[in-house]
Amino acid sequence: MSLLEVAGDSRSFGGNRAVDDVSFEMSVEALAIVGPNGAGKTTLLNLVAGLLHPSRGSIRFRGREISRLPPWRVARLGMVKTYQVVRPFRSLTVEENLALFSRLRGGSALDGILDATGLTPYRHHLSGELPFGLLKRLELAKGLSTHPELLLLDEPIGGLSRGEAEGLLATLSALKARGVRMIIVEHRLSEILTVVDRVLALDRGRMIFHGSQSEFFRDPAVRTAYLGSDNA
């Protein structure tokens, strides 16, 4: 049984179909969802996380239908999303940000998460006073503090400098090696492909590719979406 099964999911906003009949199964440890701006990547992630409900289709997590569940119930089942635009609890310290979720799903060792994400020296700092790079790490740490079975990361390295991004990617690779499974939505293709096993590409809401990295760059539909029809 796959960890996650998305079958024929669609979601429209008015006349705009942001996600159009997307189906895939997640059985690998790390999957990247890529695509140009407006392709529907974040909408698809929000559908999976329960932040949006699909207009059509189903989503099953560990065999259970979850497409109509509220986000807090999806998270308690073990699937947690982090945000592209960081959303720390600004009046709380870094440690308190993680302690909020530590009682869910049996709890996680906060020290281990702080170590894994490089936040131990900042544990007593107010999160509202942290620089952007550390807030991105805190966003990841918050996700880990719920002890998820599947982590949904929305542009985890978006807005980071090259050095900061490399550091965070190394953290993601280490987490993956420890068995943390993840779906990553990301614009920075070449960097994120160092972490993931498979790639799912979207274009204007439709899935145009789902396969391995090596196949990804050879796929004509992907080349057209990224480079235009003249260069494909």
Partner 1 sequence: MKPPERRARPAAPRWLTRLVSPYYIAALAVIVVFVLWSAGAPTSYFALSLVFASIYITLALAWDFSSGLSGYLNFGLPFFFGLGAFTAGYFAWGGQRYVPFLLFVALGVGAVGGFLFSFPTLRLRGPYFSLLSLLLPLIAVDFVLAFWTQLHMPTEGYYDLPFLAVTPWGELIILSVANAVLLTVFLVLRNSHFGLILRGIRDDEDALSSQGIRTFPYKVLAFTIASGVAGFSGATYALTVTFAGLDTFEFTFILFPILIVILGGTGEIVGSVFAGYIVILLYQYLFQALSEVTLIFFTGAAILLVLFLPGGILRPIRSFVRFMRTPEAP
Q: Which residues bind partner 1 (CB under 8 A)?
A: 49-51, 70-73, 75-76, 80-81, 83, 87-92, 96, 99-101, 103-105, 121-122, 124-126, 142-143, 146
Q: How many CB atoms lie within 10 A of CB 28?
A: 15
Nearer to partner 1, 31 or 80 (CB): 80
CB 164 within 8 A of CB 136: yes
Nearer to partner 1, 21 or 96 (CB): 96
* E-strand stretches of the chain: 4-13, 16-26, 30-34, 56-61, 64-65, 79-82, 150-154, 181-185, 198-203, 206-212
Nearer to partner 1, 143 or 205 (CB): 143
Minimal distance, residue 90 CB to partner 1, in Å: 5
Nearer to partner 1, 100 or 232 (CB): 100
Residue 211 and residue 201: Cα distance in Å, rounded? 9
- Expressed in angstroms, the distance from the first to the final Cα of the chain is 37
Minimal distance, residue 104 CB to partner 1, in Å: 5
Minimal distance, residue 157 CB to partner 1, in Å: 19
CB 209 within 8 A of CB 201: yes
Nearer to partner 1, 150 or 199 (CB): 150
Residue 179 and residue 191: Cα distance in Å, rounded? 20
Minimal distance, residue 87 CB to partner 1, in Å: 4
**φ/ψ of residue 64, rounded to 5:** -105, 135
Mind spelling out the 3-state secondary structure of 160-189? Answer: CCHHHHHHHHHHHHHHHHCCCEEEEECCCH
Minimal distance, residue 208 CB to partner 1, in Å: 28
Minimal distance, residue 126 CB to partner 1, in Å: 8
Nearer to partner 1, 105 or 204 (CB): 105
Minimal CA–CA distance to 28: which of 186, 179, 153, 224? 179
